[in-house]
Amino acid sequence: MDTVSKDTISQKRETPGRILEIRRDFPILNRQVQDKPLVYLDNGASTQMPKQVMDTINAYHEFHHSNVHRGVHQLSQEATELYEGAREKLRAFIGAASTKEVVYTSGTTESINLVANSYGLANLKKGDKILISNMEHHANIVPWYMIAKKTGAEIVVIPILDDGSLDMDALSELMDNNVRILCVNHVSNALGTVNPVKEIAKMCRDYGVITVIDGAQAVGHFPIDVVDLGVDFYAFSGHKMHGPTGVGVLYGREELLAKMEPFMGGGDMILSVSFEKIIWNELPYKFEAGTPPIAQAIGLGAAVDYLNSLDREFLESYENDLLEYATEKLKSVSGLKLVGTAPGKISLNSFVIEGVHPHDIGTILDGEGVAVRTGQHCAEPVMDRFGIPATTRASMAFYNTFEEIDALTDALLKVTELFDVTD
Amino acid sequence: MLLTNRSKNLYQEVILDHNKNPRNYREIEHPSHFAKGNNPLCGDKLDVYLIIDDKNVVTDVSFVGDGCAISKASASIMTTLVKDKTIDEVNKLFEGFHDMATGKIEPDEDPKLRRLRAFSGVKDLPARVKCATLAWHTLDAALKNQEIISTE
Ligand SMILES: Cc1ncc(COP(=O)(O)O)c(C=O)c1O
């Protein structure tokens, strides 16, 4: 293809052997799609699982499966031990002080709904303000909208700058004594922006504002420490950190969780029940009604082990190289404009191509084996902010290679040729 | 150009042409029938305008909107096909198109579908069927006097 010769900006780069070795842990990366090798660049939606995680889940099913916290028999005790063991791994993974602060949920969405209902509903009233950033995923908007409607609290939007950074000056100005809760993602799934959560949390403490941080896109990319960040609530999902779907975590400061009422009622979350009086179970079980996602939680523990076994500092700097390379390569695509260019982004590029709808890009890329996400990324306010209907998003993980970025670029050049896009 | 067959099948010259130069892309000031179509999944939006005379014949039809190449080309080709047809004929065409897009019939099975065969490729792409049928669903809603429809 002659358009490729246009690419003189960046040298081809070779993927380090350490990365190629890591790739071998992910069987799915070897599959073909439309007779082409899969190029998986939809890690923002869901990351792939290493075989270590799948093996752990399998072993659980083949050998230990039983219900937790309920039986005196051997299997139930083993299942409980594995399930609680995974909780301890997660506690250490996020730097929480105690496993009482680590609540299993079905994912980020449920985690935030839990806070909105158990904390928000009880503590908000008319005249109160909830600050929500303009770059939130619908999961950190809609639950608050629902609670605001019930309580009469007001939602106030924290604006973002043209490069996709949070407008910190505007935030300082919005802070006042009526603000009760601030909701912001650690990393934006639509833009890749990494928000200065530590600084935001400090500002919030000064005003007595509770922070609800959506960490869904952060945990898979860099280590986090909730105590160092100084946040009140931190939510994330297993399937975005190389664990299974169906499980996630809500971290909450013990002092806050202790005062909150349960979100859902049922088995496991009570100490005693009579028709006259119910006593809630202790933390964190108070928030875990019914049979939890046991295998998934254990699988998530294995994902933590897996991430801990890797040199995460190296992976972070490698992902930075990938991003830099991808950003450079994408410049060779006519009419392409990046949406979100904040400094210090995670390895994610959201973009539009003049005159080509993202869905057409997505379909053509899929035909080339390249999996990307197209659409609004459950973040319609971000799209409105930038005045675009949708974007195409290539979101990378540490197992992606420079060659895969080349494949993405080649596929995009086919799109621009087909649609006759010129600069 | 070395595109896979699937993409070549879908993005045929006729679709690319109608995407770039959509026909009947305008508002009609006093339509007898009108509807707004919306595919919230991808943010595709289009408005369909019709003038239908007292013999139930479509004497004018147009559309405006934003969407992917498939939905835009489908709307454009639709307007060229339904003009001067009776409502009955339009309904039959919609039915045939729908069956073809969802893989229930092959385009060759129905001579009416000759000019719509470019869209038969979407049957292998479940996520794109709605793009191809949005204009038709909107037209259908206009004929039934439902002003806003969503294909989700
Ligand atoms: C920033 C962000 N928040 C929340 C979510 C929702 O996560 P889940 O669907 O796992 O609850 C996502 C996932 O798309 C996300 O990217």
Is A55 a member of any domain? no
Ligand 1 center from residue A109 Cα (angstroms):
6
CA torsion through residues A354, A360, A362, A366, sign: negative
Q: What is the number of domains present in chain A? A: 2
Taking alpha carbons only, the member of A233, A179, A187 closest to residue A206 is: A179
Is A173 a member of any domain? yes
Are residue A344 and residue A199 in the same domain, yes or no? no
pTM across the whole model: 0.93
Residue-wise pLDDT tens digits, A169-220 = 999 999 999 999 999 999 999 999 999 999 999 999 999 999 999 999 999 9
Chain B residue with the nearest C-alpha to that of A416: B1
Q: Is the CB of A192 under 6 A from ligand 1?
A: no
A9 vs A349, more confident: A349
pLDDT at residue A10, as a whole number: 52
pLDDT of residue A5 exceeding 70: no
Are residue A286 and residue A323 in the same domain, yes or no? no
> Is A183 noted as a catalytic residue in this protein?
no
DSSP for A5-69, please give it: GG--SS---PPPHHHHHHHTT-GGGG-EETTEE-EE-BTTT-PPPPHHHHHHHHHIIIII---SS
Residue pair A18/A314 in contact (Cβ under 8 Å)? The answer is yes
A341 vs B152, more confident: A341
Catalytic residue of the set A157, A168, A378, A388: A378
CB contact under 8 A, A419 and B16: yes
Rounded Cα gap, residues A194 and A166, in angstroms: 9
Ligand 1 center from residue A143 Cα (angstroms):
13
Are residue A304 and residue A392 in the same domain, yes or no? no
pLDDT of residue A137 exceeding 90: yes
Q: Is the CB of A47 under 6 A from ligand 1?
A: no
Is A60 a member of any domain? no
Ligand 1 center from residue A241 Cα (angstroms):
12
pLDDT of residue A6 exceeding 50: no
Q: Is the CB of A221 under 6 A from ligand 1?
A: no
Tell me the CATH number at A351. 3.90.1150.10
Is A40 a member of any domain? yes
User: CA neighbours within 13 Å on the CB side: how many for A254?
Assistant: 10
Are residue A123 and residue A236 in the same domain, yes or no? yes
Which chain A residues have a beta carbon less than 8 Å from that of B70?
359-360
Hey, what domains does chain B have and what are their CATH numbers?
A: 5-150 (3.90.1010.10)
Are residue A148 and residue A293 in the same domain, yes or no? yes
3-state helix, strand, coil in chain A (%, to 5): 45, 15, 40
Q: Which band of pLDDT confidence, cut at 50, 70 and 90, is reported for residue B121?
A: confident
Chain B residue with the nearest C-alpha to that of A363: B7
Ligand 1 center from residue A105 Cα (angstroms):
13
* Mean pLDDT confidence for A229-242: 98
Query: What is residue A96's three-state secondary structure?
Result: coil
> Which residue, A293, A308, A323, sits at the end of a domain?
A308
What is residue A117's DSSP assignment? I
Interface test with B, best of A4, A357, A412, A417 (most B CBs within 10 A): A357
Token reading at A301: 């523990």
Query: Among residues of chain A, what percentage have pLDDT more than 70?
Result: 98
Is A224 a member of any domain? yes
> Which residue, A308, A332, A358, sits at the end of a domain?
A308
Are residue A39 and residue A98 in the same domain, yes or no? no
* Mean pLDDT confidence for A306-332: 98
Chain A residue with the nearest C-alpha to that of B72: A357
pLDDT at residue B147, as a whole number: 66
pLDDT at residue B146, as a whole number: 72
What is the position in ligand 1's atom list of the atom closest to the CA of A44?
16
Which chain A residues have a beta carbon less than 8 Å from that of B127?
363
Q: Which band of pLDDT confidence, cut at 50, 70 and 90, is reported for residue B125?
A: confident
Tell me the CATH number at A279. 3.40.640.10
Are residue A299 and residue A379 in the same domain, yes or no? no
CB contact under 8 A, A1 and B1: yes
Are residue A249 and residue A142 in the same domain, yes or no? yes
Is A191 a member of any domain? yes
Token reading at A70: 């309920």
Choose the closest CB to A367 out of B4, B41, B66. B4
Are residue A44 and residue A126 in the same domain, yes or no? no
Residue matched to tokens 């801990």: A308
What is the position in ligand 1's atom list of the atom closest to the CA of A237?
10
The domain in which residue A165 lies consists of: 65-308
CB contact under 8 A, B131 and A383: no
Is A11 a member of any domain? no
Q: Which band of pLDDT confidence, cut at 50, 70 and 90, is reported for residue A7?
A: very low
Count A/B contacts: CB-CB distance under 8 Å. 62
pLDDT at residue A377, as a whole number: 87
Are residue A205 and residue A316 in the same domain, yes or no? no
| Radius of gyration, alpha carbons of chain A | 22
pLDDT of residue A258 exceeding 60: yes
Are residue A150 and residue A164 in the same domain, yes or no? yes
> Which residue, A288, A308, A328, sits at the end of a domain?
A308
Ligand 1 center from residue A108 Cα (angstroms):
6
Is A44 a member of any domain? yes
Q: Is the CB of A118 under 6 A from ligand 1?
A: no
Which chain B residues have a beta carbon less than 8 Å from that of A372?
none
Q: Which band of pLDDT confidence, cut at 50, 70 and 90, is reported for residue B2?
A: low
Rounded Cα gap, residues A359 and A387, in angstroms: 17
pLDDT at residue B9, as a whole number: 80
Are residue A374 and residue A414 in the same domain, yes or no? yes
Q: Closest approach of chain B CAs to the CA of A35, in angstroms?
A: 9
Looking at every residue in chain A, the average pLDDT score rounds to: 95
